Structure formats: C-alpha cells, structure tokens
Amino acid sequence: MGYLGGFLVSLRQIGRKQRVTTQYPKEKAPKPVRVHGRHVLNRYEDGMEKCIGCELCAGVCPARCIYVRGADNPVDDPVSPGERYGFVYEINYLRCIHCDLCVEACPTEAITESKMFEFSFTSRSDAIYTKAELVVDDEGMPRKLPWEDWRPGEDLHTSAWMRATAPAGDARFEGVVGWSGELGYGLRAPEAAQDVKDAITTPDEFVDEHGHDADPHGPVGHDGLSHDETDPHTQGHGGH
C-alpha cells in the first residue's frame, strides 16, 4: 500500500473494542503493590503506638514536610512501648513528595504509606495531617477522611513494599520476616519472592540457580546469624 497503508491501519481501529481506558471516577485501575500513597502511623497488636518520637523521619525528609515532637511516656498510661512516644506528629501534604524515605528511616515501622493518593482537600489546614488523622483506628485501618476517595478493600494495603524487600537488601533473607506485628493484621506475611532474576543489574556470576544473590562476601551484618534472633523489632515489641 505504500504511503496510504497507514490510513487503513488507523481506519481498522474504528469499532474495535480493545480500549484499555478505565472509567476513572466510576472505577479504579488496580494499583501496583508498591505505590506510595498517604502515610499511616501503625500500632502494635495490643494497640500501642509504634512511633517512638525519634524524629528520624523528620530528619530524612527531603521536602521537610514532617514535624515530630517526642515526649516521655506517661508512667501510668504509656502510649508506646519504651521510653518515648510521638507527642506531636504532623505531615504537610502540600509539601510531601511521597518518596518514602521516612518509611525507610523509621526504626520501628511506625510510619508506612498506604496506597491512597486520591485526596483533594480544599483548605491548608486540611492539608496538614496530625496524629488524629494519621494513626490507624482500633481495627488497624487508616482513618478515612471526607476528602479522601477510599474504595472497599483499598485500606487493606498499608505497607506492602516494607515487606517486599529482604533486610538490608540481602536476597538470602528473602521471605524471612523481619518486622513486628500490626494492629488488625498481626504479623504480616512477606511478599512473594521474585523468581525472575534481574538480568540487567546483576551479573551472572553473582546469581545462583534460584536467581538469588550468590556472592559469598555479600552485604555484611547478617552473615551466620539467624535473622529472627538479631532483629530488634520482633523482640523489642513485647518488652513494654
């Protein structure tokens, strides 16, 4: 057909029902498991808050959108296990870039991200989420604010990528649980292992037959030790 072949190609598309459009406000496309949404502040299974007010999240935040003020736990009615807790915790969503560095920095997995990015507040004060909005409710579910568009089931995914990677990035610990239980969920299962090796970034000689990192002098810190024994979170949580 030469020059005019293209016209047939486009004409044939008419009436062909192969559109992939999702009618967004009516239905939502499924979100990838590691989407970064708005944060939640998690609690332990007994209802204690995980946040210890260490301010590491605020320190690492490149957008400087997190404000934390820690305080000593009241002796008779502690908010979190241990000495300190997050007395004030605020995230300004006009500034947050959802980079998840706060999630990586958090030593107690207190702050994780849900997959909720569909929120449109209409005032600046609504944009600043405080503990009242961020801390999960008594079922361990994120609080649903009026300007947020939650659909059934969406609140179940609050921390997937945390459980997706092996501790310290070492593939030998893949599938080994290295995190504490959560209110409403208990000890969450690790994400399914990645069975296809990343052929682009990992040279062949460093990969064993299972597609795992086979480097004997690999990342330091975990060699020869059982992960469960060394992880501070699984043990520390019962100590309050």
Partner 1 sequence: MFGGDPLLSGQVDLAVVLIVLLKVVLVFAFLLVATMLMIWFERKVVGDLQNRIGPNTAGPFGLFQTFADGVKFFFKEDLLPDRAERRVFILAPLLTVVPAFLLFCIVPFGGDFSNGANGTVEIFGHETFLQLANPPIGILFALAMSSIAVYGVMLAGWSSGSKYPLLGSVRASAQMVSYEAALGLSVCAVVLTTGTLDTHQIVAAQAGDGWGSFIPNWNLLVAGIVPFIVFLLASQAELNRPPFDLVEAEQELVGGYHTEYSSIRFALFFVAEFMNSVTMAAIIVTLFLGGPAGPAPIGPGWLWGVFWFFLKVIAFLFLFVWIRGTVPRVRYDQLMDLGWKVLIPLSLGWLLVLATFHVARDQHWNGLVVVPIAAAIALTFFGLLRFAMATAKANRLEGVVE
Strand partners, 207: 213
Residues 6+ apart with CB under 8 A from 2: none
| Residue from 1, 2, 9, 239 in contact with partner 1 (CB under 8 A) | 9
| Residue from 1, 2, 14, 27 in contact with partner 1 (CB under 8 A) | 14
- Verify binding: residue 29, partner 1, rule CB under 8 A: no
Give the range of 5-13, 53-61, 129-137, 219-227 binding partner 1 by CB under 8 A. 5-13
**Cα atoms found within 13 Å of the Cα of residue 8, Cβ hemisphere only:** 5
Residues 6+ apart with CB under 8 A from 17: none
Taking the least distance from each CB to partner 1, the nearer of 15 and 239 is 15
Q: 184: alpha, beta or left, given left = phi > 0 and alpha = psi -120 to 50? A: left
Taking the least distance from each CB to partner 1, the nearer of 10 and 120 is 10
- Verify binding: residue 32, partner 1, rule CB under 8 A: no
- Neighbouring CB atoms inside 10 A of 119's CB total 17
- Verify binding: residue 203, partner 1, rule CB under 8 A: no
- Verify binding: residue 147, partner 1, rule CB under 8 A: no
| Residue from 1, 2, 16, 224 in contact with partner 1 (CB under 8 A) | 16
Are 171 and 212 within 8 A, CB to CB? yes
- Verify binding: residue 1, partner 1, rule CB under 8 A: no
Binding site for partner 1 (CB under 8 A): 6-7, 9-11, 13-16, 18-21
